[in-house]
A and B are shown apart, each in its own frame.
Chain A
Amino acid sequence: MTRFNAWNVIKNGFNGNSGWSRQWRDPEPKASYDAVIVGGGLHGLATAYYLAKNHNMHNVAVLEKGWIGGGNAGRNTTIVRSNYMMPGNREFYEHTLRLWENLSHDLNYNVMFSQRSHVLLINNPGALDSFARRYNTMRLTGSDGELWDLNKLKNKIPHLNYDNGRFPILGAIVQPRAGNARHDSAVWGYARAADSLGVDILQNCEVTGVTRKNGSIESLQTTRGDIKGKKIGFAVAGHTSVLWQMAELGNLPIESHKLQAFVTEAVKPLLDCVLIYAPAGAAHFYISQTNKGSMVFGGELDWYKSYAQRGNLPTVKENGEGAMAIMPCLGKLRLLRHWAGVMDMSMDGSFFMCKTPVENLYLNAGWNYGGFKASPASGWYFADLIANERPHKVIANHNLERFEKGINIDESGSGPDPKMHG
């Protein structure tokens, strides 16, 4: 495999770019693997990569029903942050942020992680109180976080709605190491890196049935034939319940909801950070600018359960309102595209990464809003779980039993109402 670097880019410039080859192979499925990961999104690909890299498991397949990165990996707003507070979540997301920081070098693929700051606006003193707990916890657990007063905020972002907003802007709480990355590039980077370590990435390989025998899964029926796996991992957030029921495992603490994302026409640099506007009890809106120049934004769920990858008008309108509320200069910028992703919304807003009632089956699910940023650590810890057959202590509580055990890792405190975990 040709290494990606400026030298080879220039070299290929002289030979009509003929020196580049497939970034990952298109192998025929083998009859069996040591580990089969269902789901060729970022989580599945990252898991395969870390199985090979960290645990020396190379006989691994990733099964993707369509094309890799076609689900939520390509439908998010690419924000990377670690401002989580609850034990377990805190360490997990901090680890993911650290992995992101070196991911381009690790994968030899520019994932364009830009640590341009995650700026959460403060609209009333009460909001500061609850953010303070979160960001103080972050600081005390080895992460970064800082408070910007109004002057500093105005200096950094002069063109926000400071004077005519429904809710005042008092300042911001900021994670400087957070930012955004290029989602597709992370998908392809993990795919290429995993492939080079021997992982088979099987596209157009949909799981259509699960054969169980003696408390474990014997094989998976797929559109490309039966595939056996000594260990099997599900990483199909959005559709976890569908696969789970295919394996006749009953109910999960998950509902599928859709979250819309919006992208505008490209303009010259207009916003240099990830900006969040969430006046308590009123709205939730986030916006950033891609390197191409498009503003990318999103807000709340559509509020009803759905597996449709398309959104509805009221939410479109609300997001326009959110954009104008905070950046009134956006009026003449035009929305270019909007779409929806299907989220695994869990009962406490936190994810699942655990063993299951089936001996050789491992579950990676329930990513709510947070799946994109989580993917490196998700792959890391899921690989660790699969390889060592026990959860790492960081994810020890991220199991299906936590509800009966009364373990509360609910970041928002919204309780068992999945749509509220925005």
Chain B
Amino acid sequence: MSSRRIENFGKINRQKQLKFSWENKNYFGYQGDSLASALLANDIRVVGRSFKYHRPRGIMSCGVEESGGLVTIGTGDRKEPNVRVTSQELYEGLIASGQNAFPSVNFDLASINNLLSRFVPAGFYYKTFMGIPPFEWGSGTSVWMFFEKFIRKAAGMGRSSRLPDPDVYEHANDHCDILIVGSGPAGIAAAKEAADRKLDVILVEQDNMIGGDQLSESEFNSDEAFKELKSLGVRVMKRTTAFGLYDNCVLGLVERVEENVTLSDRRLPKQRFWIVRAKHVLIGSGSFERHIAFNNNDVPGSMTVNASKHYLNRYGVLTGKKIVITTNNDSVYSTAEILAKAGANVIVLDNRKETNIDLNKNNFEVINGVVPYNINGSKKINSLDIANSINSKYNKIDTITCDQVLMSGGWSPAVHLLSHRGVRPVWDTENLCFVPGEPKENITVIGSARGIWGKGDCIDSGIAGTLDAINKLGISKTDYFFPKQGGWMNPIEPLYEVKSKKTRSKSFVDFQHDVICDDVRLAHREGFISVEHLKRYTTLGMANDQGKMGNIIGLSLMADLLGKEIPEVGTTTFRPPFTPVSIGALAGRSVGKHFMPLRTTPMHAWNLENGATMIDAGLYDRPWYFPKSNETIDEAYIREAATVRKTVGICDVSSLGKIAIQGPDSTEFINRIYTNAFAKLPINKTRYGIMLRDDGIVLDDGTCWRLSDNEYFMTTSTSQAGKVMSWLEELLQVRWTDLKVNVTSVSEQWGVAAISGPKTRDVLSQCLEDPSTISNENLPFMCFISATLKGGIPCRIARISFSGELGFEIYIQADYANIMMDILWKSAKQFDGCLYGVEALGALRIEKGHVTGAELDGRTTIDDVGLGKMASDKKSYIGSALRKRGVLSASDREKLVGFFPVNKNDTFASGTIICEKNNIKGFGVGRITSVTHSPELGHWIGLGFIKGGVEEWKNINVIGSDPIRNKQIEIQVVSSHMLDPKGERMHG
């Protein structure tokens, strides 16, 4: 091929030159060029290498179906592999390089694979590399993994960056009445018709100019068409691909916002990922020209016919000097004419015996009844062997010197979006293509995507499409009809493969993946005759173009081998996306710290100001510990826990779930959802309660306060808050609709500080307007009261203890949380108090044997955790029916216990498995779920489970086995109430 820019053709702006680099050399193109057209204008033939055989690849199309010209754009952290040169707009400073080749695409050492291709047909890797060659000796996976290293290195196409992507992407949403995919003649006509009817229309075009196939017409003016649509109120989205069509006419779009802009000038996101909800979708996605399989049909310089027309009339690039066009249909003749007019020497080989073409054929030659047989050349085309066909046996008859071979084996409507909806296409025997099936949803296919070839017919189909939409949407009733499919003067005749006499010809079906016709035959020979098996065995259609070019040829070959028709063989399902979508676009701005929302408590800022180190608790950030100067976490939490036991500590527990429960049936409701009795809870009292799931397993624990006859306040654990809320709503709205109860989440409305330790009352008294509010008489254990903090700030104080010390929880309007903390902390400091975080909170509760999510892991029963006495036998409640089913009530279940190391200097970790001394293997007899250093006891302690409970293990030490941390120690089983079992401290 020798391609060049020529005068008087194309829509590029020749006033504006753009510099770009290819393989480290600088070149020039013009504004309006694609990278492909710029490369062709500079006569660069080899732009890539194929996947397996590393055959040279040139530019083979001018659209998204490109499977030859895949390159890497950019460098460093902006390196983008596998970019189609045909879809990449040229910009000043664009850096492009070849990929999957060493040292370069022009000279690639790995092309030795091409010579070995006979040994590596489709699926060869399933047959070897298992063991030591040649007879696959050995066992296990080591030999395969040895080979695998080399195979992986050889595979892949481009090399991706390992640095974080510096570009910004964003998400956007929209709605419209009609969304039209594609701005070809049909799409534009449909948009105008819809706009005339005052409908809200979005027209989506993947290209940077609207027009579709009209861009290959010299007289078409895209800017004017664009202006007209804008003036009609059509929302035109250029550079935007409708990549997927999902339920309810919702489309995923990707808009390439500034990918045509020089890097340093980019200000906007690289891409925008749109979710558009349309009432009706018109698919005018066009059609793809197919190639023809024959020997060496992949030599750079081979291309689809229509592509060369685009290069000429859109980009002013004539792609060859001596061009042979091979075809089985009428679509090529206008191209032949214009190529000849531009100065090329053109010969058309039409496999049909006779054609009646209404064109001035004076400037090019047509040979009927002849097909391409073999291309001579490797990195460029030297000549084409041609053949005639007698009884489908092809005999070489001549050789034509040429530098380009253009192919047209027919056209395939782009049925992809409809395929996403599970609508199977239908084979059109007249036009030799799959046309869209009938969608049941509000979707209409228009233009050549419908199998309509003529421009006038396409325009009519666009108008009909809009009328169809209007009818389906019930806007108005209008008669309309769709033009008939097809539109050529002479019928197309089948031409998929020109079978070579060579035993292993290189007749490519899939150019990127190097699937050749013989691979399809091998698949057939080995029984891979279902289309899906064929695809998977040969990898046909699995490359970046997802079979846009080669699928039909593959199907036709299989149909031939099976003696069936193409539709009997089937179609493969096209999965979204239509063209590949960058992961960055999918993620949008939900990257880095914004991957997930951050939930903070109302005293978050206060905690940070006061030195908290934070930890994630689900989506919440909670204070973990408050280190003093150089303290480690262990030093800090041990100090904090010890301070609480000795004086006083304050902890932010605002992340607890909080639910307001109101209504005349509140008491009945509460009584049904907790295991323990709530019916007679007095006003102003709070009670610790346990909820079970339907299956009788513990769901959550928390406190519930009775505010009045008909009003309660419930707390839940942090992790289960959302689940419990939803569950209560479900019970009230779905199951127990007779109960008059309303539940409201008030988690965010309240800030909560827990204050505990022997000095708590002293500290808190100083903070209250009326210190007597919290006297033992006014506020006994498990009661609550309304109070006023100094400064007149109202709050609720509950006397609750998670730490086992004298403790209060102070609930305050979220807005006052920081002030409350100031007041409390100022007072606590006077008593040598501390701030403590969840680590110390954990230490304190483990000492007391209180359970949390670590113990309530969704498998434990209320009896397992030693709270069986809280499960009422006098009432029925959620979970009561199932909580004792079968082995859930067995006596040898694992029961909650405490663990001490026998050697008090030993430490251990959660997740340790408890085994009998002489049997350190298997599932063990128990496990440690939570551990801490106990400042009070002076050694490490653990909470966990052991078969039969503490009674079974009196005086029997066990082994804590922790192989992943290389640890094994002797352990004593103790009661889970490791500190103050009678609870004297908290009643003080």
> Which residues of A come within 8 Å of B, CB atoms?
4-10, 13-14, 16-18, 20-26, 66-67, 69-70, 74, 87, 90, 101-102, 104-105, 108-110, 112-116, 123-126, 128-137, 139-142, 145-147, 158-159, 161, 164-168, 173, 182, 184-185, 188-189, 203, 264-270, 279-283, 289, 291-293, 308, 310, 312-313, 316-317, 319-321, 323-325, 328-339, 403-408, 410, 412-416
Contacts and interface: CB of A to CB of B under 8 A. Distances in A.
A136 B586 contact: no
A92 B92 CA distance: 60
A104 B144 contact: yes
B140 interface: yes
B151 A281 contact: no
B955 interface: no
A114 B144 contact: yes
Contact of B125 (A70, A110, A113, A334): A110
B148 interface: yes
B780 interface: no
A4 B136 contact: yes
A132 B695 contact: no
Contacts of B163: 159, 329
B169 A331 contact: yes
A333 B522 contact: no
Contacts of A23: 526-528
Contact of A267 (B124, B160, B250, B857): B160
Contacts of B138: 105
Contacts of B911: 128-136
A335 B162 contact: no
A160 B153 CA distance: 21
Given A126-B854, A292-B156, A404-B886, A324 B591 contact: yes
Interface stretch (B34-42, B393-401, B574-582, B601-609): B574-582
Contacts of A74: 532, 536
A339 B577 CA distance: 10
B80, B164, B246, B693 — most chain A CB neighbours (10 Å): B164
B525 interface: yes
B582 to A, nearest CB: 5
A132 B139 contact: no
A17 B518 contact: yes
Given A320-B587, A324-B584, A330-B583, A136 B596 contact: no
Nearest to B157: A266
Given A16-B518, A203-B530, A265-B82, 17 more contacts: A4-B127, A23-B528, A108-B130, A110-B128, A129-B909, A130-B911, A133-B910, A134-B911, A281-B618, A310-B422, A312-B246, A313-B250, A317-B273, A320-B583, A335-B586, A413-B859, A415-B693
Contact of A268 (B77, B156, B585): B156
Nearest to B718: A281
Interface stretch (B18-26, B427-435, B923-931): B923-931
Nearest to B885: A406
Nearest to B119: A13
B693 A282 contact: no
7 contacts: A105-B140, A114-B148, A136-B962, A308-B422, A328-B165, A330-B583, A415-B693
Contact of A136 (B503, B522, B857, B961): B961
A4 B135 CA distance: 8
A5 B252 contact: no
A268 B961 contact: no
B615 interface: yes
Contacts of B912: 132, 136
Nearest to B504: A16
B113 to A, nearest CB: 13
A199 to B, nearest CB: 14
Given A282-B618, A333-B160, A413-B857, A293 B583 contact: no
B161 interface: yes
Interface string B652-692: 00000000000000000000000000000000000000000
Contacts of B539: 292
Interface string B627-654: 0000000000000000000000000000
Nearest to A105: B139
A406 B518 CA distance: 58
B592 interface: yes
B390 interface: no
Interface string B903-932: 000000111110100001111100101100
Contact of B586 (A8, A291, A316): A316
B51 A408 contact: no
Interface string B131-157: 101111011110011001001110111
A185 B82 CA distance: 27
B412 interface: no
